[in-house]
Chain A
Amino acid sequence: MKAATVIPESTPDPREKPGKPTRSRKRFWRTFKNQKYLYFMSIPFVIWVFVFSYLPLWGWTMAFQKYKPARSFFEQEWVGFDHFKTLFHDDQFLLSLRNTLAMSSMGLIAGFIFPIMFAILLNEVRLGFFKRFAQTISYLPHFVSWVVAAGIVTKMLSTDNGLVNDLLMGLGVIHQPIQFMAQGHLFWGIVTLSDVWKETGWNAIIYLAAIAGIGPELYEAARVDGASRLRQMWHITLPGIRPTIIVLLIMSVGNLLNIGFEKQFLLGNNLVTDYSQVLDLYSLKYGLGMARYSFGTAINIFNSVISVALLFTINGIFKRTTKESLL
């Protein structure tokens, strides 16, 4: 039935002469007129997106030029992959790549474990009032800026009257305050834990919603079988939110290199640069800061290309194993 109605439409009308608008084109303009308000409401923003999100991609050409701001595009000198060659031979680049990967993997792992644990524990809280209270409090750090969060972390870890040092000294673990912010090898951990402090409550929202979707009859049955609360947590709650975990995991692997630089910028200082410098900060300092725009752009391109490649790889693996696509 369906095929029969489709065929006459797809065969070209012999009466139509070439050059004249075809029927489908006519239909397009007729619908265009009917939907003019939909176009009015979307086209301006599409142009907007083009300017602010797509035009910067045009700027990628800079990486293959010896870009001089005063010259027009056609007057630029083209240098091929020279900037990339310089980049890959730069020790600072390898250092930044290491730091980026280290902090993003640590953030990825901690950013999964803590919210999941928190959501599961919160789900076990039976006192409705306390549960709501704890939840509201847990969102708080998500809404403050990294400027504030970094200030608070620095304050808590400071050597004069910082909470952590005071506590450790009070417990007799240490006798001298530790200069947390001045030690490179502690930096990755500090960044990761700051992130945990800031985002755990917020990221738990999705898991809590997923847990709420698990059928109560499963718990009922487990109780009848005499399963303890701990066993219910392990055998019902965790498997129940597994699909959510997998989807979120894949999405964040795609963003592995896009960890941003706010934390590193605000928590870092001259003493820990070897551990705090991530790719974006590297391009900020050695690209923008030294007016080496082309070189800095090469760093940005490297970052973007790897991210997209990672995303597609992960999505491919995901597609093959679950027959579903995220993109």
Chain B
Amino acid sequence: MGKTAFVHGKSWSDRMFDALVYIIVLFVVVITVYPFLNVLAISLNDSIDSVRGGITIFPRHFTWDNYIKIFTFSGLITGFKISALRTVIGTLLGLISASMLAFTISREDFQGRKFVSTFLALTMYVSGGLIPTYILMKDLGLMNTFAVYILPGVVSAFNVFVIRSFIDGIPYALQESAKLDGANDFTIYWRVILPLTKPALATISLFLAVGQWNAWFDTYLYNGSRESLTTLQYELMKVLQSTTAGSGGDYRTNLVSSAVNQVSPESIKMAITIIVTVPILLVYPFLQKYFVKGMTLGAVKS
């Protein structure tokens, strides 16, 4: 800060204040990361040794055994595939729907504009609820299908409005000049709008991908008895809940019981937790500048 010329040195109280700020922020950082590092350390530690306790953020007896072990569970391999698949497909479809809808309702000349945006906005306030949705999925024949992971979430009003407020910031003259060159509305969307909304699209893809990757309840509700359609989060949930007396009820616990005999479940749990978390850790820091912008835009506008 160069503008402090008239303050000769910092006062004692300001220095105390500074120190306090750093201590508190550092404290927040520590309580945020420590649990993750602790989980990582336990997952990389010899499972029998872990039972003794006292592991902080460094493994005491380093080993890859826990990871090697969990990859012999068929449920996890299937879960990984299904989770990855739903993340890719769900994100792509979500991006297409949100960007197209955002483009159409950003066009002030569009006749259906008001109807479409009101129709969308209402979904943010009223929802049918758990059981009517469940019955609908059943009636549509989506129980025990992969489609149930994708179809219900294709259109998200929130995402549409985030992209729309971004499009509003693009000069309309660009669209007009494209029109003069003979472009139709779809070409404008594809060639003009999409390239210019990349930051917003990056934000939305992150939201969509994280939402898909992290979802477990739809598996529990619709596909719980279909092992070929299990997801990674659902498998983790079963493993974690198996020893905590369970709150929900009827999961199949065969995955755990086979593991318990050989390896301490604690290490297994921690290793699976890491496997489930790592993909997100690899992605979000790089998209940070986009989603911070996207969040702020969306909030200001809506």
Contact = CB atoms under 8 A, between A and B. Distances in A.
Given A49-B120, A125-B22, A283-B129, A139 B284 contact: yes
Q: Identify whether the interface residues of B are mostly helix, strand, loop, or mixed.
A: helix
B39 A138 contact: no
Report the interface size class on chain A: 35 or more
Interface string A118-144: 100110111000100110111111011
Pick from A42, A152, A284, A307 the residue with the most CB of B within 10 Å: A42
Contacts of A283: 129-131
B174 interface: no
Nearest to B213: A145
Contacts of A224: 6
Given A38-B107, A41-B185, A197-B31, A56 B132 contact: yes
Q: Identify whether the interface residues of A are mostly helix, strand, loop, or mixed.
A: helix
A74 interface: no
A107 interface: no
B287 to A, nearest CB: 10
Contacts of A144: 214, 276-277, 280
Contacts of B154: 45, 48, 52
Pick from B97, B112, B247, B248 the residue with the most CB of A within 10 Å: B247
Contact of A136 (B127, B210, B285): B285
Contact of B29 (A134, A197, A280, A299): A134
A153 to B, nearest CB: 8
Given A38-B110, A46-B116, A293-B135, A137 B130 contact: no
Given A45-B101, A154-B240, A140 B36 contact: yes
Contacts of A37: 184-186, 189
B125 to A, nearest CB: 6
A273 B132 CA distance: 24
A32 B110 CA distance: 9
Contacts of A31: 111
B245 A220 contact: no
A136 B283 CA distance: 12
A84 interface: no
Contact of B28 (A45, A118, A148, A303): A118
A158 to B, nearest CB: 9
Contacts of B277: 144, 148
A241 interface: no
B69 interface: no
A276 B233 contact: no
Nearest to B38: A163
Given A35-B109, A136-B285, A42 B134 contact: no
Interface stretch (B11-19, B59-67, B162-170, B253-261): B11-19
B155 A151 contact: no
A155 interface: yes
B259 to A, nearest CB: 15
A283 B133 CA distance: 12
A181 B3 CA distance: 52
Report the interface size class on chain B: 35 or more
Given A37-B184, A62-B132, A155 B25 contact: no
A177 to B, nearest CB: 11
B86 interface: no
B161 interface: no
Nearest to B283: A143
B123 interface: yes
A161 B132 contact: no
B188 to A, nearest CB: 8
Contact of B128 (A53, A152, A293): A53
B197 interface: no
A180 to B, nearest CB: 12
19 contacts: A31-B111, A35-B109, A41-B103, A45-B155, A46-B119, A52-B151, A53-B128, A59-B131, A121-B24, A124-B17, A140-B33, A155-B270, A205-B292, A209-B296, A228-B14, A264-B247, A288-B134, A289-B249, A307-B125
